[in-house]
Amino acid sequence: MRPLKHRATTEGVERMPHRALLFGTGLSRGDLEKPFIGVATSWNDLIPGHTNMRSLERFIERGVLAAGGTPFLFGIPGVCDGIAMGHEGMRYSLPLRELIADSIESVCRAHALDGLVLLTNCDKITPGMLMALLRLDLPGIAVTAGPMLAGDWRGRKLSLVRDTFEAIGRFKAGAIDEREVAELELRACPGPGSCQGMYTANTMACLTEAMGLSLPFCATAPAVSAEKLRVAQASGARAVALVRDGVTARRVATAAAFRNAIRADMALGGSTNTVLHLPAIAREAGVPLPLGEFDRLSSETPHLVNMRPGGDWCMEDLHRAGGIPALLSVMRGMIEDNPTAGGQGILEIAAAGEVFDGTVIRTPAEAHSPEGGIAILSGNLAPDGAVIKRSAVKAELRRFSGRAAVFDGEEEAMAAVMGGRVGPGTVVVVRYEGPRGGPGMREMLSLTAAIVGLGLADRVALVTDGRFSGGTKGPCVGHVSPEAMAGGPIAAVRDGDGILIDIPGRSLTVALPPEEIAARLAAWRAPEPKVKAGYLARYARAVSSAAEGAVCI
């Protein structure tokens, strides 16, 4: 075992004040001799995916103590993207990722902790915690708190996106009445856990497990299950073992691990937000991960699991079918061996995996598509790239052309859609919503769900320098880079311009000659920042392009 970091705070007569303060927390002299394991917990009463974490904290502590470590819990902030959606609060969701990484770094280095357990679950919280772990390169492991069970009404399986966000549009279109609205909002989220489909939180949980940074079945075991408690306890014990064995996070999060994560992402049809998060995590690990790697791996990875929003399966179905080990078992010819925080090789986990329901987890021969769930587009509208969840786009819509209706912000676009001012054949262009322009690169689930609920999903497309929820479906292109606030070509688009989204051709173009785009941009002037003080103003000045993971540099 390598020397324990915390001895910098406990050894020698000059550390008498430090020891006195530690004894003031209730520690014994014997506790000072054990590995100090930080438990970064994002428990709060605000997020359904995090309200169950108090019990998980206890079981993580049990595991740390049983393995001979000394646990220290400390709090990390969280934001519920669903509650923050569609208003000023969503500006804070992606920037919170950087605050989380910085907070964990600050606590761990200030207190010289030896190892980490990350208790996390929802959207930007998981990548923020992983960024910190890789930045610190401590021995560590993640515990994602688990998915929510599906809701139920009249024998119909319910989930948050389909039965609340999209239901708004159905209500506006007269397809459902107020009574059904009242029932759906009560029943769509029946208890704690991350939202039921392959949205951002669950996608990141699955990729964390595929990378080997959480234990087998951690991603899919439901939040309310005893199995989740057992995973938490085992994870606490593994954190101590990792410290004793000197296995740090970067030993696990290798280039091969990131490629495995991308392949799993493509097989699952995961959230487009992973194209922001994996490069940001890889940057902290010192692993180059260019945007083109997603498209390269997508082209050779079949789409094997069709989860909501594009399909009908929920996380409990994936768990019942064998979870991530089962998925890896049918992907053994595609993934690369790599160590994991659990001590096994990833191919060893794959070999032990078993598919219990082939209708949920298909073999490559029976894949939903020979290509993965995400595609990277480029062209004169997105020279640095853009992202689309191709698995959530119907085959007949994967080449969509239309006339632009341009909006300088989500609210303008939402008002036009809900007011019936967006008709078939329109490409809704929403700009100044990128990392700098937003600021914060807001998700637009309210807007995309309204389009679906109003019955326009097959007749309207959306292009933005902002981003989408993992719950978005249809021909919706996000992460357009460079963004409008940086003078990207999307700033030059005008109402009526022709736009072509060509997923098979991997292109996103506006029907303008280069000289016209150049002339418009030469006359363009950046608008005044929407936020001029506080954290978001500082974030806007420091954040990089979405094509680089929207990291603060």
Please tell me whether residue 510 adopts helix, strand or coil conformation.
strand
Hunting for tokens 């941009």 — which residue is that? 521
Q: Which of 389, 172, 173 lies closest to 298, judged by CA?
A: 389
CA distance 107 to 327: 36
Closest by Cα among 469, 499, 467, 494 to 483: 467
Cβ–Cβ under 8 Å, residues 482 and 393: no
CA-nearest of 202, 73, 63 to 125 is 202
Q: Report which of 115, 161, 160, 168 is spatially closest to residue 137, judged by C-alpha positions.
A: 115
Cα–Cα distance, 543 to 521 (Å, whole number): 22
Which candidate, 486, 472, 473, places its Cα nearest to that of 521?
486
* Active site annotation includes 214: no
Tokens encoding 251: 């030993």
Rounded CA-CA distance 529/485 in Å is 9
The one-letter amino acid code at 62 reads: R
CA distances from 90 to 83, 98, 411, 541 (A): 8, 15, 12, 18
* Distance from C-alpha of 246 to C-alpha of 388, rounded to nearest angstrom: 40
Burial 158-193 (b: 16+ CB within 10 A, else e): bbbbbbbbbbbbbbeeeebeeebbebbeebbbbebb
**Which structure tokens are listed for 427?**
């490409």
- Which residue out of 93, 194, 225, 469 is catalytically annotated? 469
Instruction: Report d(CA 221, CA 84) in Å as an integer.
Output: 26
Helix residue ranges, H only, 223-254: 226-245, 249-252
Residue 73: exposure state from Cβ atoms within 10 A (0-12, 13-18, ≥19): middle
Other residues' Cβ atoms within 10 Å of the Cβ of residue 138: 24
Q: Are strands 156-158 and 36-41 parallel, antiparallel or unpaired?
A: unpaired
Smallest CA-to-CA distance from 261 within 326, 192, 212, 223 is with 212
Three-state SS for 218? coil
- Alpha-carbon gap, residue 243 to 140, rounded angstroms: 8
- Furthest-apart CA pair in the chain: how many Å? 76
Q: Are 192 and 49 in contact, with CB atoms under 8 Å apart? A: yes
Sheet holding 36-41, edge to edge: 70-75, 36-41, 115-120, 140-144
Catalytic residues: 469
